[in-house]
A and B are shown apart, each in its own frame.
Chain A
Amino acid sequence: MTPHQRVRRTRAVLIAAVVLRAIVWAGAAGLAVIGIAALLDLVLDLPRVVRRLAVPVAVATAAVVSLVLLWRGRRTRSLAATALWIEEHVPALQYALVTSLEQDAERSSPLLAREVDRHRWETAILPRAVTRAAIPALVALAVATAMLLALPGGVVARVRAPRAGDALERPAIARPPAASRLSPLVARIIPPPYAGLATTSLEEPHTIEALVGSRIELEGRGENDGITATVGGVDLSPTARGSRWQLALTMPATSSALRLRDRDFDRFIVLDARPDSAPVVAMLAPTRDTILRTPAGRIAVRGEARDGLGLASSWLEYIVSSGQGESFRFRSGVLARRDHGGARQATIETAVAIESLGLMPGDVVHMRLVARDRNPARDAGTGASETRVVRIARLGEYDSVAVEGAPPPDADTAAISQRMLILLTEALVSREPRLSRDTLVRESRAIGDDQSRLRRRVGEIIFSRLTGEEGAEHSHEEEERRGAMTAEELLKAAQEATEHGAGEVLDFAEGESPVVAINRPLLEAYNAMWSAASELNIGAPRRALPHMYVALAAIERARQAERVYLRGRPAAVVVDVNRARLAGKRDSLPPATRAPVAAPGRVTPAERFARASALIAQDRQAAVDSLMLLRIEVLDTSPAGATALGAVIASLREGRDVTGALARARHVLAGAPRSDSVMRPWGGAW
């Protein structure tokens, strides 16, 4: 092996030693930084933000140490430097090695080579050099490692991976037995599973904001004996967990205060309940209520649903109402149920086949979209859209269906038609002197036919009201027979045709049945129309007119007595108040006395704030506790007040000047002062 080769090999060993030394020293330095940080944390309880810096600082330190050491060992890269280092440690070489290296490897002097060969520095000095370089580094590494291992459990973890809630990992140093076990305190908030939210931890919490139903686990040091907890008037018992106590509770539905007690130590924690809001559902189509001529076709329904925690499902809910007057039947059901699998937003599109609902004329369908979030509570998490009403028109409404959403009552259409017939008849009477008898009779009969048709329509209205049947077919003979009846006879016949039976069932014992009251004018109109049609059919329009007027007046009265249709306006009944005044008799018992509506003397938030504020000078912690309890109480009623109180509490805790926060809180809770820049002669509200 030539001297060149031997020096190269030596250089490689030296480089390896330098690198190894740098690595080991770097590791030792890094571990030492972490160890020192852990020691400091053990003594000083470093804040998390500082502990988060420990690992980056350790890495940086290691990098710097390794770079410095590598830089200092950089000369090992040079063969000449290596040769000089060998010459330095083997003086017997007498610079033969350096001289040999200065010559080309092929032309080196054999004499020099032999001289070099006589010295085996690889075994003489190299191991010792490597050892001398490595051992201090390894010792340092061992010391640093030992230090870390010697530290109490959890301390290194607090530095290595700081996290919220690791306060309890830090062992207490010389903790006096009389110290409060309520600090340090760690709260773990586990949201309900349906929310899909992550578990969070808080250290030394003053306020815990969490979804209603969340599980809250509080943990502190020491035994659980003697520690009590109260929330909303309910006592809770902490349990033991190793050398710690633990308290588990569920976030209540309303904000409240959790009071922890350990002997003479008190601690309040605000449980700020965040209710799960129901999904917001909007029906985009149909955009308005609808009246359908026939119970056929499809109605496209489109909507949107949103929920902050995710939607579980949605569906279309409908209620079909059938009937009229006093008799209604209802059916309800759901359509198009869909699962949304926790999506925050969903579009709901479906179409309702009208035929599938089995609707009849006059039926009313109430539809709305409903969505549920994943909250399993029975009464929570369901949101509904606005309701759309779809109505199937009755047979007699066709003329008006197309033009108005709320068609006029049947009696209204009859009134309009009767008025037109009267106009035609009056015109005919005025032309009568100029007309031949045949023409007069022909035109009169034409009006008479219309009058008969209108009379049949009025008959159908009366019959349908009494029987609930729409558009029943009746024989001509039956109509003729009916037409000849008096109103009472027709009514009786009509009542007999119903399932209600005899009149006394419908009639109240004290007076007239509402059914009778409503239909009597129409029955009168029916009879008058019959008389008018008879006169018209024999060509006597002048004699027909009085009957026609009677019919019109009766229809008008029927309209007054009638309930008007959905979304119309019933005619007002005017009561003769003066006639009725004090006509009734009253028993002799006096009315019950009145009880105060509100609870007078109840201490207002402003008064409680004043009392709590007065405590600040004497007992700051007591003032904080009082203000916290007040804040809980006004969380729902005065969010602005709660915010202002929160600022006061924060200022008090942090030892800042509290004057501004107090002024704001007082302004919100007690109201703004009312100033008047002039002296008035009268005090009070002016």
Chain B
Amino acid sequence: MSEFVFATAQYESGDWDSAPLVPANVIDSIARYTSIDVAPTGAIVALSSRDVFRHPLLYLTGHLPVRFTAAERTNVAEFVRRGGFLFVDDHNHDIDGAFHKTVTEEIARTVGPLVELPNDHVLYRAFFHFADGPPTTSHELNGWGDNLVHKHLHGVIRDGRIAVLYSNKDYSSEWGYHPDNKRFLAVDNTKFAVNVVVYALTR
């Protein structure tokens, strides 16, 4: 039985690798809280390659503009059609940022329109319970980026399930530290990542 591999999407146009420590941190959390078989390292998958279809969950982040190539666009559309789950996080935590503007445009063009997820969505109860919706990040609280605390995540819904999860909250920064340092945190701020993975694996 194959284990779960946390895969980061590599796209042509931007700094797809802006959060290199996130995969390890998410993997650590999956192991820490669940019995899901998880690979000890993440994978990097070029969106333009067929490798996309080896990983039903893809994590995509960055600061720079996201403009998919034709091959990337085709693969993303097919990936979602086949039941894949794309988690996109804006590393700029800025709704006026180029990443936000371009990636939302690409998602709408490639997969479908993003809709606001209600804060009682099953995603927030898929493993841990987040009564108020998506957990707030320290970058939001510090007033970085657009100086907003984003109340909702967004998603593209296919057949009643989230096919693309889009976050403005900059979890890429929030989870971008070595997992060994988790021991210093009073409250583990990566728990929501477990919800994302469990949701993708069970819905």
Hey, which bits of chain A sit against chain B, CB under 8 A? 289, 319, 321, 323, 326, 328, 330, 332, 364, 366, 368, 386-387, 389, 508, 510-512, 514, 517, 563-564, 566-578, 580-584, 586-587, 589, 591-592, 594-599
Contact = CB atoms under 8 A, between A and B. Distances in A.
Given A328-B92, A598-B159, A575 B40 contact: yes
Contacts of B32: 580-584
Top-8 shortest CB links A-B? A387-B67, A584-B32, A573-B24, A570-B20, A592-B125, A511-B181, A511-B184, A510-B184
Given A323-B63, A582-B34, 20 more contacts: A321-B65, A328-B98, A366-B13, A508-B177, A510-B186, A512-B177, A512-B181, A514-B21, A564-B20, A570-B17, A570-B20, A573-B41, A577-B40, A580-B28, A580-B32, A582-B33, A582-B35, A584-B29, A587-B128, A592-B122
A508 B183 CA distance: 13
B40 A576 contact: yes
Nearest to B172: A326
Given A321-B64, A580-B32, A595-B122, A575 B15 contact: no
A595 B33 contact: no
B97 A330 contact: yes
Count class of interface residues, chain B: 35 or more
A575 B27 contact: yes
A574 B102 CA distance: 32
Contact of A597 (B31, B92, B160): B160
13 contacts: A328-B63, A330-B65, A366-B64, A387-B13, A389-B13, A563-B17, A566-B14, A573-B178, A575-B27, A577-B31, A580-B28, A592-B122, A597-B161
Interface in B143-173: 159-161, 173
A595 B64 contact: no
A330 B94 CA distance: 11
Interface of B: 10, 12-15, 17-18, 20-21, 23-24, 27-29, 31-35, 38-42, 44, 63-65, 67, 69-70, 92, 96-98, 102, 122, 125-129, 138, 159-161, 173, 176-179, 181, 184-186, 188, 198, 202-203
Contact of B38 (A571, A574, A577, A587): A577
Contacts of A289: 12
Contact of B125 (A512, A514, A577, A591): A591
Given A587-B128, A587-B129, A572 B42 contact: yes
Contact of B177 (A387, A514, A570, A583): A514
A517 B23 CA distance: 17
Nearest to A596: B160
Contact of B41 (A574, A596, A599): A574
A598 B203 CA distance: 11
A303 to B, nearest CB: 14
Given A581-B31, A586-B128, A319 B102 contact: yes
Given A386-B70, A577-B27, A566 B33 contact: no
A211 B38 CA distance: 51
Nearest to A578: B31
B63 to A, nearest CB: 5
Contacts of A387: 12-13, 65, 67, 69
Contacts of A586: 33, 127-128
B177 A511 contact: yes
Contacts of A578: 31
A580 B29 CA distance: 8
Contacts of A326: 173
B119 to A, nearest CB: 13
Given A326-B173, A597-B161, A511 B185 contact: yes
| Of B13, B21, B125, most A-chain CB atoms within 10 Å | B13
B138 to A, nearest CB: 7
Given A586-B128, A591-B198, A580 B179 contact: yes
A583 to B, nearest CB: 5
Nearest to B72: A386
Contacts of A573: 20-21, 23-24, 41-42, 178-179
A575 B24 contact: yes
A512 B39 CA distance: 26
A259 B96 CA distance: 46
A568 B17 contact: yes
A666 B28 CA distance: 52
| Of B24, B181, B186, most A-chain CB atoms within 10 Å | B181
B113 to A, nearest CB: 10
Contacts of B181: 510-512
B28 A575 contact: yes
A368 B109 CA distance: 16
B13 A321 contact: no
